[in-house]
Chains A and B, each alone.
Chain A
Amino acid sequence: MKFTLHIWRQENARAKGHFETYEIDNISADCSFLEMLDQLNEKLVNDHISHPVCFDNDCREGICGMCGLYINGRPHGNDDGVTTCQLHMRHFNDGDEIWVEPWRAKAFPIIRDLVVDRTAFDKIIQAGGYISATTGGVPDANNILVPKHKADQAMDAAACIGCGACVAACKNASAMLFVGAKVSHLALLPQGKPEAQDRVKKMVCKMDELGFGSCTNTYACEAECPKQIKRQNIARLNRQWIGSLFGRDRNN
């Protein structure tokens, strides 16, 4: 297969970026999008055309959350429920023009080319996205019963890989789906209940502080999430948030 690629090039955070156009040929339909970029980079290096295109990637099996490209206007491209590394060229037509951009969000500044800084997500988690269980001194695992449907729902939310596609897809660059997924995962489990009210407050405040936008319920995040995290998690986040402000056992 043959493609015309328009790729965002930007030397560093301060430099001005621009689209660069490249032609690439002899690409197998079974090849993944990132393997296609590997071949482009191989060509750029071997022919001394330019510095290879920088893009984040690691596990290449859709679980680490490191890769994330905005391809023809969609985070992770035109297939549903996959990360960029799981997108295969068979989803394109021979001769297609493909536009490749980094995640665009104020809270995710560009580092180089298609690489962005997502440490804001880590900071949200550090604000309270965990259960404070210090190593040792915990009860036997089967002393805590969790109804199967609750465990399953918690697992659905916990499947988030922290890639940032929800933020990239949102016109407001809101992180509500990411935060909602973590708040839900922990609030659904009995172990997470003691800190639930405190947790939601801290995470939401941190999210606002870091420059993520507000949620206006358009659900582009849900549509583009590679792990198909449901918008119900945003609803649960809102309930938790309101509960933490007005709930019966709020900390006064």
Chain B
Amino acid sequence: MNLDSKIPEGPLSQKWTNYKASQKLVNPANKRKLDIIVVGTGLAGASAAASLGALGFHVDIFCIQDSPRRAHSIAAQGGINAAKNYQNDGDSVERLFKDTIKGGDYRAREANVYRLAEVSGNIIDQCVAQGVPFARDYSGLLDNRSFGGAQVSRTFYARGQTGQQLLLGAYGALSREIARGTVVLHERHEMMDLVVVPDKEGKPRARGIIARNLVTGELERYAAHAVVVASGGYGNVYYLSTNAMNSNGSAAWVCHRRGAAFANPCYVQIHPTCIPVHGDYQSKLTLMSESLRNDGRIWVPKKKEDAEAIRRGEKGPLDIPEEDRDYYLERRYPAFGNLVPRDVASRAAKERCDAGYGVGPTGLAVYLDFADAIKRLGRDVVEQKYGNLFQMYYKIVDADPYKVPMMIYPAIHYTMGGLWVDYELQTTIPGLFAAGEANFSDHGANRLGASALMQGLADGYFVLPYTLQNYLADQIYVGKIKAEGPEFDEAEHAVRERLDGLMTIAGNPGNSEQHSVDHYHKALGRVMWEYCGMARSKESLATAKEKIAELEADFYQHVFIPGKAAEMNPELEKAYRLADYFELARLIVDDATQREESCGGHFRIEHQTEDGETLRDDENFMFVAAWEYQGHDKPEVMHKEELNYEHIQIVKRNYK
């Protein structure tokens, strides 16, 4: 497997400029003869399709929801980073680049991250031009706030609904192209397989997809000169996460099965501020934005007996006097305080709860307290900044955060791993590109807050429109791609067999050993959270592997899916996504097992400093692990892309 990252020549700050100056272009009259498939309508997919359509390419775009505006980017709350330095507080492209590399614990590719920082300012310009109503100050200029892992204020925001507003901006641009006819929308369609066809020289190329119409259940074929997968992350492998119910890893996974390398699957982000789990029936976890850590202070009781009394319901947070509260982030990390990066904050919460200081009925919660902020700023200001988040908390928990501190606990939120891509965002299959959370490229082992929106839009608005052209320049000679031939037949047949196979597992109705899909998904989630979650060890990972295999075997014998494959069937949708999660879960565990170090979101308890911080092993593990699929029952093969840091000085990641 060839892992050529294709990083352009020249000094870091000139690489992207050099690339753009020397890339190949497509003549305007030829663009409309070239077809592109985009899977996913989140920030990356919608912005890519809108930009490519505006350039004149013909784009087919697919989403599993009823409208492109539903993609889960919509739920991002806090903000988007950009190195504008509007606050005159010392920000720059260089600083955003350094913060992102350091935040990712020196496991991301320098050139990609530098480009991300470089185009970050253009994103804000673009979004403002589209009418995104970012927060402003009284002079009419744009306002900023701070996020974790940064000592400057570079986060632009639209109340607590930044993702929504950015997505609606991209959705507007996409809608314009749909009206112009350059983009064709296929809503309620799910990508089921990638079609790879060899060209005249025998070089395999991504040439289309098999999609399932979720209303009729029919399989449909689509052909194109290139395919972009922007289908998001795989956090729902843990069942409970902040992801939407329909967010899934399958579109990326079928590409992996067809030969695209999957990189760093064990890098999973656990977000420190989510509403704690409260019952077995629970379907998802709700995030409370990181922006709350600008003004909220995180604490647990100093005395164990206080924590125990709170758990028994005999005391409340307001009964604990100031001197008996442990603001553990401020204590452990005086320089960054409550604004340490997510992985650090999550582990610190787990550490306190494991030590017996957790609050709430389960003991798996800590307080996020706004009393000081309300005293300092007044309730009105706090309400203006965070009103909708407070209301959301109130509706879910039935407690008023203006009066009593919120209770929060870490939860699965984002996956840094994903399809391996080179500098052009092209996977190991020529013609297959991956963008946004679906690729692995920019966040290393941990993503900083407000950087996901930045990356999704950077990929879609400002990277793919250039790099895809470079790929498509010589594809004009190929002519129209038709959705026919043995490769399309084979792919469609394989999907049909897979679906029919799942539908017939249950055997005879009334068998008491049958279980629903959710039964297995919940069980898989518990295994992953318990043994491959915030803290991992050689033993826990071995246990995880065993339990995943048992569950998977049981799933293929006893899962029951009602109805037919050729109709609207949400149970079947869940089943084929879960079938892929079993394979993905195994790979996450294998990747976590081989990575004998702690970095970012990947914490191996064998590798920590005396005070419980992550301990990297740069000598042996400064590489990207790119895995190659070998077949359903075979262990995958790992390839290494060594990371070379030419520009940045590598130091211990320290937020103290």
Please list the residues of chain A having a beta carbon within 8 angstroms of any beta carbon in chain B.
12, 28, 30-32, 34-35, 38-39, 42, 44-46, 48, 50-52, 54, 56-66, 79, 81-82, 86, 88, 90, 111-112, 115, 117-119, 121-122, 125-136, 138-142, 144-148, 151, 154-155, 158-159, 161-162, 185-186, 189, 191-192
Contact = CB atoms under 8 A, between A and B. Distances in A.
B465 A135 contact: yes
A119 B63 CA distance: 13
Interface of B: 47, 50-51, 54, 65-70, 72, 74-75, 84, 86, 122, 124-131, 133-142, 158-159, 161, 164-165, 168, 171-173, 175-176, 178-179, 185, 187, 215, 244-246, 278-279, 281-284, 286-287, 391-392, 395-396, 398, 461-462, 465, 509-510, 514-516, 518, 560, 562-563, 567-568, 570-571
Contact of B70 (A64, A130, A138): A64
Contacts of A38: 281, 283, 518
A85 B124 CA distance: 32
Contacts of A12: 567-568
Contact of B54 (A51, A61, A90, A134): A134
Contact of B128 (A57, A58, A144): A144
A161 B164 CA distance: 8
Contact of A52 (B126, B161, B395, B571): B571
Contact of B173 (A56, A135, A144, A154): A135
A30 B563 contact: no
A58 B172 contact: no
B563 A51 contact: yes
29 contacts: A12-B567, A28-B281, A30-B398, A31-B282, A42-B518, A45-B560, A45-B571, A52-B562, A60-B286, A64-B70, A65-B67, A111-B568, A118-B66, A121-B67, A129-B175, A130-B173, A130-B175, A133-B126, A134-B54, A134-B173, A136-B461, A138-B125, A140-B125, A141-B84, A141-B128, A142-B86, A146-B133, A148-B138, A189-B131
B21 to A, nearest CB: 16
Nearest to A113: B568
B67 A146 contact: no
Nearest to A61: B286
Nearest to A132: B176
A145 B141 contact: yes
B176 A63 contact: no
Nearest to B512: A46
Contact of B514 (A28, A46, A131): A46
B176 A119 contact: no
A132 to B, nearest CB: 6
Contacts of A142: 84, 86, 141-142
Given A139-B129, A189-B131, A86 B142 contact: no
Report, nearest first, the 4 A-B pairs whose CB atoms are least far apart. A130-B172, A145-B140, A138-B129, A133-B129
B339 to A, nearest CB: 23
Contact of B179 (A45, A127, A148): A127
Contact of A65 (B70, B138, B179): B70
B245 A56 contact: no
Contacts of A162: 67, 69
B168 A158 contact: yes
Contact of A64 (B74, B139, B462, B510): B74
Nearest to A131: B131
Given A35-B282, A58-B70, A64-B75, A46 B516 contact: yes
Contact of B67 (A28, A118, A147): A118
Contacts of B66: 56, 66, 117-119
Nearest to A135: B51
Nearest to A34: B283
Nearest to A57: B245
Contacts of A31: 279, 281-282
Given A35-B282, A81-B391, A122-B185, A148 B130 contact: no
Given A58-B245, A59-B244, A122 B67 contact: yes
Contacts of A130: 130-131, 172-173, 175-176
Contacts of A111: 215, 568
B133 A155 contact: yes
A86 B70 CA distance: 16
A186 B176 CA distance: 15
For B65, B131, B139, B462, the residue with the greatest tally of chain A CB atoms inside 10 Å of its CB is B131
Given A52-B571, A64-B75, A133 B130 contact: yes
A12 B126 CA distance: 42
Given A46-B514, A122-B69, A191-B130, 18 more contacts: A31-B281, A35-B283, A46-B515, A48-B562, A57-B245, A58-B246, A62-B392, A64-B70, A122-B187, A130-B173, A136-B462, A146-B136, A147-B140, A148-B138, A151-B140, A154-B133, A161-B164, A189-B133
Given A45-B562, A82-B395, A126 B133 contact: no
A53 to B, nearest CB: 9
A94 B374 CA distance: 38
Contacts of B124: 141
A66 B70 contact: yes
